[in-house]
């Protein structure tokens, strides 16, 4: 078995974000790390929309990201710390729109290890050096400089190691142009490791240490080290240093040490200032629980600076420092606003705040004000004795604030993120859809959602209106060449033409010069200010003074097809003749003296737009009824000579020539594509050679069941093609690569570009008798998602086999259920406590829910109608029970009536796992599945993490035990049990009497149920320990599984063993066989292994294309959706693996990770080809492309075609 791994949706989570002027222009950009991907985002200052400029797979795991700028420079560089054991400095090159690796310095082993640097990065604010640090001991300092040619140079590393010390955070101090200094937050463990009494551990001090890089001596010294708060977790740089021009200091320099509940200002030889972190005054808040800062950002303005710190609850605080030169007078904090909990915050100079959420969608906010003159209580260090440091070991009294809706910020843009995907199903539930949808349970806490993902582009309808009849075509046109917007909409009906004028309103106009008594075949704005209408009996050339020059078709003939551009017109007559017209310099349309007889009825015609600076386009494509397409010359020297001919498999229904940029074929110039739509719904895309007019590199694609119509449109000022069949598809260029994506919209019969003041980049289409104007807002996306909000983190869901509803379980740890908190608040009220209603009623989607102690759970069962995208019913769980698993079981004992079994547990603690009691709740479906009736609860001694229907009974994984239950009157009745699993059962799969059991730590066990003896027996297991998160059966003997470290693998059982076990009626053979390696008697064999880089949360064996092959689809925690496609032939395997080998040697990883070791992170990669790497072939420079293609004995086009074919036949994407 050989598999091809392809990512359909790359991770959507953002783990780090950093702002800077990376392109060297005035606009600021944001570089974000999506774990295994690096992206450059550009927020538009006017519209506030965030656009992705480039995205690049790094084939490694990014652990830290920082930006710096050399002194006097205008351009920022990015430094990346990853698991490659290398530090990498990246430069964004706006010309080629790519990240360029400027420097790559190796310092250690690869992998995310304890003492290999990469976890933390700190840069000197003047861009003179960078420190990279590990979690323990190792810190390296690199000096950055310029050489004579003003290129960035990097020194060899200087060590600032400290043995036996754990590093919490590092930061570069702002010291102006003094020697660069770095601050680190460290704890030494050498003493607590030696002291059995535990006293040293209790007295362990967290040290704030300054490291100074002496630029003169080229040496790093430990300058200063002082103990600070033992619960400090984060450092923030405070501006400092003197301006060269004046004596003023930018700030006092030093650091803010963010600790649990406090923030301390700290600097060498300066008094400390301490302030409390204000808390929410929620009646149910746990006041014993500390509050930490998880994200921070400092912003410098002219002559001032402030900090925004975010607590783990999402509240932003504005922190300011009052200072006189270098002396700090006061440290102040006040509540600012509440936004989702961020992994990184970025403030842009243009007044935006980018919040990269740790889970869920990311947001861009605009600052309305800086919270300077509001009534928020402010807490200053001067309010406390000795600036809050009277006794550092005692906490300051709690400070409180009232959370409220956004006041200082307004939301301007939202970036969708699926992270985290916790469970998914792939099914086709929508009516009229021939491809399945992906249903995913996403998000965390109150911001969770249930999403339906469809392959396609989102379409935003601007306006739609009913028409009197059913038109068969629509056009829009300008009046003059240089008009910014369209003026007319022309609708062609069976017996007439209607012209509408676009103004304040859209209304019919009469005196346009267009013939209204006949249908129209083509409309064109021609020359400088004339219009052209082609109708079956002639061509009308409407001049700007409304004079009409008409060319009439000879008697007895009609025009059957026409194609036009700004200077040329070609029409085909019913007598199979072509007539060619060209505009002369006086604006007269002249007929070419000869007509060309084609010999077969012409069905479709197309010419390209006139290239810039040229008189004409030299090629005409003619599709004939004899199933051919001919390329005919329009060159003055060989006018209407046939150049080449291509045979088709069906008569063509439409042809469209368009010049489009595809960097895979040509990096700099657009390629001329001839798109041929056939009557059987197949689209052929061929490349027209501009020199000899030959058609090469044909690619085919099935679009739908109706004959195809092709329309050339403008998509963001670039040419695109709209292909209409039973689905509408858009072919366009995005980030220099060609995309072909269906539109999620009503079926269109015809469409055209539409540009008006209110909708400058729209499209206009007709579906039936409705005219629709729409636009496509999110180019580049492949999946459209529709979301239903949920109340708690979704855990698992299951579809009902008959009624099309989903049953979903949700649960949150450390959260009180809504009912429990209402109850607790009522109790407080009864005790006479004052309750602030406003705080209690804050929406939990924005503010979250107050944290409760560990062991508190909120959970519910939700019934969802996925087609109507709504929640049908919610059944909350009480008594601190939380749901962990569910199954729909047809109990044989109840005549195969379907029941929902939900595995829950009461008072659950996670580590170590414990609960007062587990339950199997059995529900009956009522009201056609819209409601549930609890029949009974069956107690279990551990948490039931997996349940499944099995031969008319229920099989449950309860902790380490696998049990079979049958339906009883008051309880489920335990029939048989096997307790020999090693840690906890997390997944179950079945076929026949075989049960595949995924263990939390010990991979997949093969078990079998033997009814005669009533025994559950394990007969095979894996030789490797695997921390299973998801499994699916590929066939009776084969299982595919994902583990916690981001691997997917396929295990197979020897078919002989399988037969032997099946033939043994009682299982006595298995029972008496000797175990191997302290496990089962048989072992599975690993067939394939691959490191995805994202934690796999679900795997399915599905077919994504109608009638296509079955593939494996997996989802990842950070929002990845990928597929594993089995190869069909040995040649494919050889070809693609050789290509992969060549691609590996190109060293594409911009973090310097070796591709082979990345994909074989934990176990060497086996029998899986990385499609993402292979597809980056399209981005290689042309020389490299042809070199690799030459090695493979193919042309570049053939390699690209093969790659596209693999993607399209497997996924349709």
Partner 1 sequence: MSSELRYTANTQLEHLHARYTGTGHADLTKYEWLTHQHRDTLASIVGHPSLASYLAIADGEAIGRVRFEMTERMLQPCGPPPAKDD
**Angle, in degrees to the nearest 10, between helices 1130-1145 and 1196-1211:** 120
Helix locations, 78-237, DSSP H: 190-194, 199-202
Half-sphere exposure of residue 673: CA atoms within 13 angstroms, side-chain side: 28
State in angstroms the smallest separation of the CB of 279 from partner 1: 15
- Give residues with Cβ within 8 angstroms of 669, minimum separation 6: 661
Min CB(286)–partner 1 separation in Å:
13
Stretch that binds partner 1, among 301-309, 673-681, 683-691, 806-814 (CB under 8 A): 806-814
The residue to which tokens 């003059």 are assigned = 480
By CB under 8 A, residue 812 contacts partner 1 = yes
Nearest Cα to Cα of residue 1078 among 1126, 1135, 1022, 1129: 1022
Nearest approach, Cβ of residue 204 and partner 1 (Å): 6
793 touches partner 1 by CB under 8 A: yes
**Run of H or E residues at 1159:** helix 1155-1159
Q: Which is nearer to partner 1, 292 or 412 (CB)?
A: 292
Residue 194 contacts partner 1 per CB under 8 A:
yes
Residue 825 near residue 785 (C-beta atoms within 8 A):
no
Structure tokens at 1130: 């040995």
Query: Does residue number 913 form part of the binding site for partner 1 (CB under 8 A)?
Result: no
Say how many CA atoms lie within 13 Å of 627 toward its Cβ. 6
Interacting positions 114-173 with partner 1 (CB under 8 A): 114-115, 118-119, 134-137, 163-164, 166, 168
HEC letters along 493-538: CCCCEEEEEECCCEEECCCCCCCCCCCCCEEEEECCCEEEEEECCE
Residue selected from 160, 353, 422, 634 as contacting partner 1 according to rule CB under 8 A: 422
| 219 is an interface residue for partner 1 by CB under 8 A | no
| Residues of this chain, 225-244, that bind partner 1 according to CB under 8 A | 231, 233
Instruction: Collapse the DSSP code of 1197 into the 3-class scheme (helix H, G, I; strand E, B; otherwise coil) and give the result.
Output: helix
Cα–Cα nearest to 1119, from 116, 189, 314, 443: 443
Q: Which residues contact 640 (CB under 8 A, 6 or more apart)?
A: 578, 580, 592, 594, 596, 632, 633, 634
CB of 290 to partner 1, least distance (A): 9
Nearer to partner 1, 492 or 1047 (CB): 1047
Distance, C-alpha 558 to centroid of its chain: 53
Q: Is 1157 in the site for partner 1 (CB under 8 A)?
A: no
Residues in contact with partner 1, shown as a per-residue x/- string from 398 to 417 under the rule CB under 8 A: --------------------
What is the dihedral sign for C-alpha 371, 374, 376, 379?
Answer: positive
Pattern 86-105, partner 1, x by CB under 8 A: --------------------
**187/284 with CB nearer partner 1:** 187
Of 46, 148, 196, 394, the one binding partner 1 (CB under 8 A) is: 196
Question: What character string, x for contact with partner 1 (CB under 8 A) and - otherwise, covers 351-390?
Answer: -------xx-------------------------------
Instruction: Tell me phi and psi for residue 921, to 5 degrees.
Output: -90, 125
Which residues ranging from 301 to 330 are in contact with partner 1 (CB under 8 A)? 312
Residue 966, CB-side half-sphere exposure with 13 Å CA sphere: 9
Least CB distance from residue 110 to partner 1, whole Å? 12
When binding is defined by CB under 8 A, the residue of 343, 476, 487, 938 that contacts partner 1 is: 343
Instruction: Name the minimum Å distance from CB 160 to partner 1.
Output: 15
Query: How near is the Cβ of 108 to partner 1 at its closest, in Å?
Result: 10
32, 295, 521, 1125: which one contacts partner 1 (CB under 8 A)?
A: 295
792/1135 with CB nearer partner 1: 792
For residue 195, state whether it binds partner 1 (rule: CB under 8 A).
yes
DSSP letter assigned to residue 689: P
Q: Counting contacts by CB under 8 A, is residue 294 touching partner 1?
A: yes
Among 131, 571, 672, 1117, binds partner 1 (CB under 8 A): 1117
Shortest approach of partner 1 to residue 184 CB, angstroms? 13
User: What is the C-alpha to C-alpha distance for residues 677 and 588, in angstroms, rounded to an integer?
Assistant: 33
Binding of residue 419 to partner 1 (CB under 8 A): yes
How far out from the chain centre does Cα 818 lie? 31
Q: Binding segment for partner 1 among 142-150, 812-820, 883-891, 999-1007 (CB under 8 A)?
A: 812-820
The pattern of x and - marking residues 480 through 519 that bind partner 1 according to CB under 8 A reads: ----------------------------------------
Give me the residue label for tokens 């394939």. 1088
* Residue 68 binds to partner 1 (criterion: CB under 8 A): no
Contact status: 975 vs partner 1 (CB under 8 A): no
Cβ neighbours of residue 189 closer than 8 Å, sequence gap 6 or more: 164, 165, 166, 204
Based on the shown chain and the rule CB under 8 A, indicate whether residue 695 belongs to the binding site for partner 1: no
Tell me the closest approach of the beta carbon of residue 192 to partner 1, in angstroms. 5
x-marked contacts with partner 1 along 433-472 as a string, rule CB under 8 A? -----------xx---------------------------
Ranges within 1054-1113 binding partner 1 (CB under 8 A): 1093-1095
The answer to whether the beta carbons of residues 332 and 380 sit under 8 Å apart is yes
Which residue from 21, 56, 61, 104 is in contact with partner 1, where contact means CB under 8 A? 61
Phi and psi (nearest 5°) for 959?
Answer: 60, -120
Residue 765 within binding range of partner 1, rule CB under 8 A? no
CA distance 1120 to 1154: 21
Of 628, 706, 1045, 1064, the one binding partner 1 by CB under 8 A: 1045
Min. distance of Cβ 233 from partner 1 in angstroms? 4
Convert residues 525-554 into a mask of x (bound to partner 1 by CB under 8 A) and - (unbound).
------------------------------
CA-wise closest residue to 1092 among 1137, 1051, 1126, 1047? 1047
Contact between residue 974 and residue 963 where contact means Cβ atoms under 8 Å apart: yes
Q: Which is nearer to partner 1, 122 or 515 (CB)?
A: 122
**Nearer Cβ to partner 1 (793/906):** 793
The answer to whether 420 contacts partner 1 (rule: CB under 8 A) is yes
CA angle 231, 233, 234 (to 5 degrees): 145
Q: DSSP for 604-631, please give it.
A: EEEEPPPPTT-S--SEEEEEETTTEEEE
Provide, rounded to whole angstroms, the least separation between the CB of residue 157 and partner 1. Answer: 15
* Number of chain residues interacting with partner 1 (CB under 8 A): 65
Q: Would you say 49 or 113 has its CB closer to partner 1? A: 113
How many Å apart are CA 113 and CA 168, to the nearest integer? 15
Cβ burial, residue 357 (10 Å; 0-12/13-18/19+): buried
Q: Report the C-alpha gap between 977 and 284 in whole angstroms.
A: 43
Q: Which residues form the interface with partner 1 (CB under 8 A)? A: 13, 15, 35, 61-63, 83, 112-115, 118-119, 134-137, 163-164, 166, 168, 187, 189, 192-198, 201, 204, 231, 233, 292-295, 312, 341, 343, 358-359, 419-420, 422, 444-445, 793, 812-815, 851, 854, 910, 1044-1046, 1093-1095, 1116-1118
């Amino acid at each position: 078995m050989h598999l091809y791994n392809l990512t359909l949706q790359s991770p959507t989570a953002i783990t780090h974000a950093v702002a800077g002027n990376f392109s060297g222009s005035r606009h600021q950009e944001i570089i974000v790390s999506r774990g295994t991907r690096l992206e450059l985002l550009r927020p538009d200052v006017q519209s506030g929309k965030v656009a992705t400029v480039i995205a690049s797979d790094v084939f490694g795991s990014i652990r830290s990201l920082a930006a710096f700028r050399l002194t006097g420079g205008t351009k920022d560089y990015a430094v990346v710390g990853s698991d490659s054991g290398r530090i990498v400095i990246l430069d964004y090159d706006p010309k080629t729109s790519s990240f360029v690796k400027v420097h790559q310095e190796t310092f250690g082993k690869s992998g995310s290890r304890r003492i290999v640097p990469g976890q933390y990065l700190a840069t000197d604010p003047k861009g003179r050096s960078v420190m990279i640090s590990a979690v323990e001991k190792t810190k390296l300092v690199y000096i950055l400089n310029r050489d004579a040619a003003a290129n960035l140079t990097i020194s060899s590393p200087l060590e600032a190691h400290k043995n036996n010390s754990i590093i919490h955070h590092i930061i570069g101090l702002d010291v102006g142009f003094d020697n660069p200094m770095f601050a680190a937050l460290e704890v030494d463990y050498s003493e607590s490791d030696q002291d059995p009494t535990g006293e040293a551990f209790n007295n362990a001090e967290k040290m704030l240490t300054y490291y100074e890089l002496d630029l003169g001596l080229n040496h790093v010294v430990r300058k200063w080290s002082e103990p600070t708060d033992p619960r400090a977790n984060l450092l923030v740089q405070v501006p400092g240093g003197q301006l060269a021009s004046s004596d003023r200091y930018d700030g006092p320099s030093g650091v803010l040490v963010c600790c649990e509940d406090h923030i301390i200002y700290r600097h060498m030889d300066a008094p400390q200032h301490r302030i409390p972190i204000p808390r929410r005054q929620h009646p149910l808040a746990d006041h014993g629980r500390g509050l930490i800062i998880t994200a921070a950002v400092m912003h410098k303005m002219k002559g001032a600076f402030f900090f925004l710190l975010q607590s783990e609850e999402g509240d932003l605080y504005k922190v300011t420092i009052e200072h006189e030169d270098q002396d700090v007078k006061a440290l102040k904090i006040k509540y600012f606003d509440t936004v989702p909990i961020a992994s990184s915050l970025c403030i842009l100079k243009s007044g935006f705040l980018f919040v990269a959420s740790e889970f869920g969608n990311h947001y861009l906010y605009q600052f309305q004000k800086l919270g300077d003159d509001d009534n928020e209580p402010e807490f200053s260090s001067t309010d406390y004795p000795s600036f809050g440091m009277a006794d550092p070991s005692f906490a300051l009294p709690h400070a409180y604030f009232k959370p409220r809706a956004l006041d200082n910020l307004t939301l301007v843009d939202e970036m969708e993120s699926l992270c985290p995907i916790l469970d998914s199903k792939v099914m086709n539930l929508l009516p009229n859809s021939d491809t399945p949808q992906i249903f995913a349970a996403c998000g965390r806490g109150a911001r969770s959602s249930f999403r339906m993902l469809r392959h396609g582009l989102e379409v935003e309808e601007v306006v739609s209106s009913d028409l009197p009849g059913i038109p068969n075509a629509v056009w829009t046109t300008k009046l003059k060449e240089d008009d910014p917007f369209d003026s007319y909409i022309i609708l062609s009906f069976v017996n007439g033409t209607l012209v509408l004028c676009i103004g304040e309103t859209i209304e019919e106009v009469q005196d346009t010069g267009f013939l209204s008594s006949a249908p129209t075949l083509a409309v064109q704005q021609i020359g400088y200010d004339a219009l052209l209408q082609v109708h079956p009996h002639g061509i009308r050339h409407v001049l700007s003074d409304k004079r009409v020059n008409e060319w009439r078709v000879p008697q007895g003939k009609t025009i059957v097809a026409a194609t036009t551009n700004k200077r040329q017109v070609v029409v085909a007559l019913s007598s199979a003749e072509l007539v060619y017209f060209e505009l002369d310099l006086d604006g007269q349309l002249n007929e070419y003296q000869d007509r060309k007889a084609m010999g077969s009825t012409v069905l479709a015609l197309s010419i390209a737009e006139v290239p810039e600076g040229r008189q004409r386009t030299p090629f005409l494509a003619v599709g004939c009824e004899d199933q051919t397409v001919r390329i005919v010359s329009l060159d003055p020297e060989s006018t209407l000579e046939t150049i080449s001919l291509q045979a088709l498999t069906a008569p063509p229904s439409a042809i469209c020539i368009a010049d489009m940029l595809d960097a895979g074929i040509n990096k700099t110039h657009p390629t001329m594509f001839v798109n041929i739509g056939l009557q059987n719904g197949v689209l052929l895309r061929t490349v027209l050679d501009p020199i000899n007019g030959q058609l090469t590199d044909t690619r085919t694609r099935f679009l739908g069941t109706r004959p195809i119509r092709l329309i050339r449109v403008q998509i963001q000022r670039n040419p695109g093609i709209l292909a209409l069949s039973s689905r509408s598809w858009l072919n366009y260029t995005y980030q220099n690569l060609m995309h072909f994506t269906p539109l999620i919209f009503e079926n269109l019969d015809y469409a055209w570009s539409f540009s008006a003041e209110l909708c400058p980049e729209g499209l206009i289409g007709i579906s039936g008798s409705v005219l629709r104007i729409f636009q496509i807002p999110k180019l580049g996306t492949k999946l459209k998602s529709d979301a239903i909000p949920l109340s708690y983190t979704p855990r698992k869901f299951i579809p009902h086999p008959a009624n099309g509803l989903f049953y979903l379980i949700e649960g949150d740890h450390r959260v009180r259920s809504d009912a429990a908190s209402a109850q607790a608040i009522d109790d407080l009220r009864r005790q006479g406590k004052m309750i602030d209603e406003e705080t209690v009623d804050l929406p939990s989607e924005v503010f979250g829910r107050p944290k409760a102690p560990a062991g508190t759970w909120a959970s519910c069962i939700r019934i969802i109608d996925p087609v109507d995208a709504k929640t049908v019913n919610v059944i909350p769980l009480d008594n601190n029970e939380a749901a962990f698993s569910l199954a729909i079981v047809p109990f044989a004992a109840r005549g195969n009536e379907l029941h929902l079994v939900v595995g829950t547990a009461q008072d659950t603690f996670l580590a170590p796992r414990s609960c007062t009691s587990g339950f199997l709740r059995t529900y009956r479906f009522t009201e056609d599945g819209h409601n549930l009736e609890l029949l009974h609860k069956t107690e279990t001694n551990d948490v039931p993490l997996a349940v499944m229907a099995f031969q008319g009974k229920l099989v449950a994984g309860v902790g380490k035990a696998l049990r079979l239950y049958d339906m009883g009157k008051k309880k489920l009745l335990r029939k048989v049990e096997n307790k020999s699993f090693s840690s906890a059962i997390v997944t179950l799969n079945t076929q026949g009497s075989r049960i595949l059991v995924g263990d939390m730590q010990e991979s997949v066990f093969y078990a079998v149920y033997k009814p005669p003896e009533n025994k559950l027996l394990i007969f095979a297991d894996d030789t490797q320990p695997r921390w299973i998160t998801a499994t699916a059966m590929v066939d009776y003997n084969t299982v595919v599984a994902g583990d916690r470290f981001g691997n997917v693998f396929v295990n197979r059982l020897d078919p002989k063993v399988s037969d032997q076990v099946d033939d043994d009626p009682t299982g006595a053979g298995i029972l008496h066989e000797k175990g191997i390696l302290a496990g089962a008697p048989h072992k599975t064999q690993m067939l394939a292994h691959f490191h995805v880089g994202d934690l796999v949360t679900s795997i399915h064996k599905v077919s994504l294309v109608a009638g296509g092959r079955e593939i494996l689809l997996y989802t990842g925690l950070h929002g990845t959706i990928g597929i594993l496609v089995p190869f069909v032939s040995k040649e494919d395997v050889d070809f693609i693996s050789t290509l992969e080998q060549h691609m590996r040697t190109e060293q594409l990883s911009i973090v310097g990770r070796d591709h082979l070791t990345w994909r074989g992170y934990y176990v060497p990669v086996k029998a899986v080809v990385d499609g993402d790497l292979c597809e980056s072939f399209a981005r290689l420079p042309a020389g490299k492309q042809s070199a690799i293609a030459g090695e493979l004995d193919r042309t570049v086009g053939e390699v690209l075609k093969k790659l596209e074919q693999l993607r399209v036949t497997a996924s349709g994407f």
